[in-house]
Structure 1
Amino acid sequence: MEQWLHSRAFVRERRGLVRTADAPAGTTLESGRHEVSSGPPLDLAANDYLGLSRDPRVTAAAIDAVAHHGCGARASRVVNGTLAVHNYLEEQLCLLTAAQSALVFSSGYLANLGVLTSLGGPGTLLILDSHVHASLLDAARLARSPVVMVAHGDTAEVGAVLAARTQPRAVVVVESLYSVLGDAADLNELAVLCARHDAWLLVDEAHGIGVAGAGRGAVYEAGLGHASHVVRTVTLSKALGSQGGAVLGSATLREHLVNTSRTFIFDTALAPAAAGAAAKAAQIILAEPALAQQLHSNATTLARLCGFARSPGAVQSVPMPSAEDALQAAQTLRTAGLLVGCFRPPSVPDGVSRLRLTARADLMAYELEHAAVLLGRVMPALPDSSLGSAVAELDKEK
Structure 2
Amino acid sequence: MSRIDIHERVQAQGRLRVAQGRQRRRRTVTRRDGVRVEVDGRWLTGFCSNDYLGLASQFEVGAALQDAAAREGAGAGASHLVCGHHALHEQLEREMADWLGVPRALLFGSGFAANLAVQQALLLEEDDVCVQDRLNHASLIDATRLAGCRLRRYPHLDAEGAMRQLRNATGGAAMLATDGVFSMDGDIAPLRALARVARDEQALLYVDDAHGIGVVGPQGRGSIAEAGLGVDEVPLHLATLGKALGGYGAVVAGDAGLIEHLAGTARPYLYTTALPPALAAASLAALKLARRDDWRRERLHELIELFRAGAGRLGLDLMASTTPIQPLLCGGEAAASAMSAAVEAAGFMVTAIRPPTVPEGRSRLRVTLSALHTPPQVQALLAAIAQARDRVPAADRHDTDR
TM-score of the superposition, structure 2-length normalised? 0.89
Per-residue CA deviation, residues 121-168 of structure 1 (Å, 9 max, x unaligned), is 225221011100111111000112122111111101212233344224
Whether 1:305 and 2:310 are equivalent positions in the alignment is yes
Question: What is the SS of the residue equivalent to 1:34?
Answer: strand
Q: Residue in 1 aligned with 2:338?
A: 328
After TM superposition, list the pairs within 5 Å mapping 1:123-202 onto structure 2: 123-202=127-206
* Amino acid across the alignment from 2:70: A
Say which of 59, 69, 72 aligns to 2:62. Answer: 59
The CA deviation at 1:384 is 6.4
Whether 1:279 and 2:284 are equivalent positions in the alignment is yes
Q: Residue in 2 aligned with 1:73?
A: 76
**CA–CA separation in structure 1 for the residues paired with 2:306 and 2:148:** 45
Q: Residue in 1 aligned with 2:315?
A: none
Whether the 8 Å CA contact 2:180–2:223 is kept in 1: the answer is yes
**CA–CA separation in structure 1 for the residues paired with 2:302 and 2:82:** 46
The CA deviation at 1:90 is 0.8
Gaps of 5+ in 1: 386-398
Q: How many percent identity over aligned positions?
A: 33
**CA–CA separation in structure 2 for the residues paired with 1:35 and 1:323:** 23
Whether 1:368 and 2:373 are equivalent positions in the alignment is no
**CA–CA separation in structure 1 for the residues paired with 2:84 and 2:233:** 28
**CA–CA separation in structure 2 for the residues paired with 1:162 and 1:28:** 49
* Amino acid across the alignment from 1:70: G
Whether the 8 Å CA contact 1:65–1:85 is kept in 2: the answer is no
Q: Residue in 2 aligned with 1:343?
A: 353
Aligned residue pairs, count: 382
Whether 1:237 and 2:242 are equivalent positions in the alignment is yes
Mark the CA change 1:372 to 1:67 in structure 2 (over 3 Å): closer, same or farther. same
After TM superposition, list the pairs within 5 Å mapping 1:37-56 onto structure 2: 40-56=43-59
Whether the 8 Å CA contact 1:302–1:359 is kept in 2: the answer is no
**CA–CA separation in structure 1 for the residues paired with 2:311 and 2:183:** 19
**CA–CA separation in structure 2 for the residues paired with 1:149 and 1:63:** 44
Question: What is the SS of the residue equivalent to 1:103?
Answer: strand
Whether 1:101 and 2:111 are equivalent positions in the alignment is no
The CA deviation at 1:69 is 1.7
Per-residue CA deviation, residues 89-121 of structure 1 (Å, 9 max, x unaligned), is 111211221122110100111011111111112
**CA–CA separation in structure 1 for the residues paired with 2:283 and 2:320:** 28
The CA deviation at 1:176 is 0.8
Whether 1:216 and 2:221 are equivalent positions in the alignment is yes
* Amino acid across the alignment from 1:181: D
Per-residue CA deviation, residues 61-94 of structure 1 (Å, 9 max, x unaligned), is 1112212321101100011100011111111211
* Amino acid across the alignment from 2:38: H
Q: Residue in 2 aligned with 1:263?
A: 268
* Amino acid across the alignment from 2:382: A
Mark the CA change 1:88 to 1:369 in structure 2 (over 3 Å): closer, same or farther. same
Mark the CA change 1:330 to 1:81 in structure 2 (over 3 Å): closer, same or farther. same
Whether the 8 Å CA contact 1:306–1:375 is kept in 2: the answer is no
**CA–CA separation in structure 2 for the residues paired with 1:104 and 1:280:** 16
The CA deviation at 1:251 is 1.0
Q: Residue in 1 aligned with 2:327?
A: 317
Mark the CA change 1:28 to 1:197 in structure 2 (over 3 Å): closer, same or farther. closer
Whether the 8 Å CA contact 2:353–2:364 is kept in 1: the answer is yes
**CA–CA separation in structure 1 for the residues paired with 2:334 and 2:319:** 24
Q: Residue in 2 aligned with 1:394?
A: none
Mark the CA change 1:41 to 1:70 in structure 2 (over 3 Å): closer, same or farther. same
**CA–CA separation in structure 2 for the residues paired with 1:338 and 1:136:** 31
Whether the 8 Å CA contact 1:90–1:102 is kept in 2: the answer is yes
Whether the 8 Å CA contact 2:28–2:40 is kept in 1: the answer is no
Whether 1:204 and 2:208 are equivalent positions in the alignment is yes
* Amino acid across the alignment from 1:315: I
Per-residue CA deviation, residues 220-272 of structure 1 (Å, 9 max, x unaligned), is 12222332643101221110100011111111111100111110000100122
**CA–CA separation in structure 1 for the residues paired with 2:166 and 2:41:** 59
Whether the 8 Å CA contact 1:321–1:383 is kept in 2: the answer is no
TM-score of the superposition, structure 1-length normalised? 0.90
Q: Residue in 2 aligned with 1:291?
A: 296
Whether the 8 Å CA contact 2:319–2:329 is kept in 1: the answer is no
Gaps of 5+ in 2: 1-5, 313-317, 396-402
Whether the 8 Å CA contact 1:228–1:249 is kept in 2: the answer is no
